[in-house]
């Protein structure tokens, strides 16, 4: 059975005290490991709050992730955070290639390939994001575009390395817009992506890779979206800033 995962992406939100409250509340609400039935619950918090959040969730099944990382191992790169640093803090997850990083920080598929490599080298699980713009979808090129993102950033990996990755499909037009992809649109893309992975790595490996959906996932639509047979959970932005709403999304899986 494939691993299921619900990850909250707090983005650049919360003060330190708000972050402490939110992390504690999520940890309290997601206490019962048995109820999760193998689903991983992750909160991807801003860098300055990583160690505090990790301490606050330590007695719960909740895990902590970073939202970005450097493609460089170490050295004179002011303001950057390496995956070795994250590993030394025992942070297990890192989001790579979120569309906001691609758009505002010019991250391209080649750079994201390098970030993926170095995250894997340091034992982190990348949550690798992909997704198309509205323009690309309307032009009917969305399947090719998203498959190409995987090809250029992931297809140099060995099968063993690929097996350590989580993919998050996040159509840009659905992020923070309140406009979610329909359950059918999500399932259809996930199926395409899995077939694309299978074409390169074989069905067994492709079948084992969790593919999350992201883009305006809310307590009210999570159940329907997660019902897709190739949808293995969600990457949740706005709704992860409310502990009750986030927990309800976790329950929906
Ligand atoms: P959203 O963000 O849930 O606020 O649409 C999702 C994401 O960007 O990961």
- Each residue of 103-160: pLDDT tens digit? 999 999 999 999 999 999 999 999 999 999 999 999 999 999 999 999 999 999 999 9
Task: Indicate the DSSP class of residue 95.
Answer: E
Tokens 């109820």, residue? 35
Q: Where are the alpha helices (DSSP H) in the chain?
A: 16-29, 33-36, 50-56, 83-88, 99-104, 109-121, 134-138, 142-154, 159-162, 183-201, 203-207, 219-226, 243-252
- Which pLDDT belongs to residue 34? 60
Q: Ligand 1: which residues within 6 Å by Cβ?
A: 9, 170, 175-176, 214-217, 235-239
Tell me the average pLDDT across 223-227: 97
d(CA 90, CA 66): 11
Tell me the average pLDDT across 83-108: 98
Cα(238) to centroid of ligand 1, in Å? 6
For residue 137 the two structure tokens come to 């979808």
d(CA 204, CA 59): 34
Q: Please state, for a pLDDT cut of 70, what percent of the chain lies above it.
A: 99
Tell me the average pLDDT across 185-211: 97
pLDDT category, 1, cuts 50, 70, 90?
A: confident
The residue whose CA has the least distance to atom 2 of ligand 1 is 237
The residue whose CA has the least distance to atom 1 of ligand 1 is 237
| Nearest atom within ligand 1 for CA of residue 218 | 3
Tell me the average pLDDT across 182-207: 97
Cα(234) to centroid of ligand 1, in Å? 9
pLDDT category, 49, cuts 50, 70, 90?
A: very high
Compute CA 247 distance to the chain's CA centroid, rounded to the nearest angstrom.
Answer: 17
Cα(99) to centroid of ligand 1, in Å? 10
| Mean per-residue pLDDT of the chain | 96
| Nearest atom within ligand 1 for CA of residue 214 | 6
The pTM for the full model equals: 0.97
Cα(237) to centroid of ligand 1, in Å? 3
Residue 92's CB is within 10 A of a number of other CB atoms, namely: 16
Active centre residues (catalytic): 98, 170
Q: Provide the β-strand partners of residue 95.
A: 127
Tell me the average pLDDT across 169-187: 90
């Amino acid at each position: 059975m494939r691993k299921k995962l619900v990850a909250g992406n707090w983005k650049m939100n919360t003060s330190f005290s708000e972050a402490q409250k939110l992390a504690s509340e999520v940890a309290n609400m997601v206490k019962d490991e048995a109820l999760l039935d193998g689903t991983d619950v992750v909160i991807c918090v801003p860098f300055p709050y990583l160690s505090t959040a990790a301490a606050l969730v330590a007695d719960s099944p909740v895990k902590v992730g970073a939202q970005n990382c450097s493609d460089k191992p170490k050295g004179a790169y002011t303001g950057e955070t390496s995956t070795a640093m994250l590993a030394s803090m025992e942070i297990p997850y890192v989001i790579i290639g979120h569309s906001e990083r691609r758009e505002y920080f010019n991250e391209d598929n080649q750079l994201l390939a390098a970030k993926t490599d170095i995250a894997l080298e340091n034992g982190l699980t990348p949550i690798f994001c992909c997704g198309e713009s509205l323009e690309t979808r309307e032009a009917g090129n969305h399947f090719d575009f998203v498959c190409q993102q995987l090809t250029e950033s992931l297809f140099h990996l060995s099968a063993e390395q690929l097996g350590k990755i989580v993919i998050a499909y996040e159509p840009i037009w659905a992020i923070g817009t309140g406009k979610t992809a329909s359950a059918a649109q999500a399932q259809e893309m996930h199926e395409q992506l899995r077939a694309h992975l299978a074409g390169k790595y074989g069905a067994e490996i492709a079948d084992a890779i969790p593919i999350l959906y992201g883009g305006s996932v809310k307590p009210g639509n999570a159940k329907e979206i997660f019902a897709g047979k190739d949808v293995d959970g969600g990457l949740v932005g706005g709704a992860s800033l409310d502990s009750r709403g986030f927990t309800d999304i976790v329950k929906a899986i």
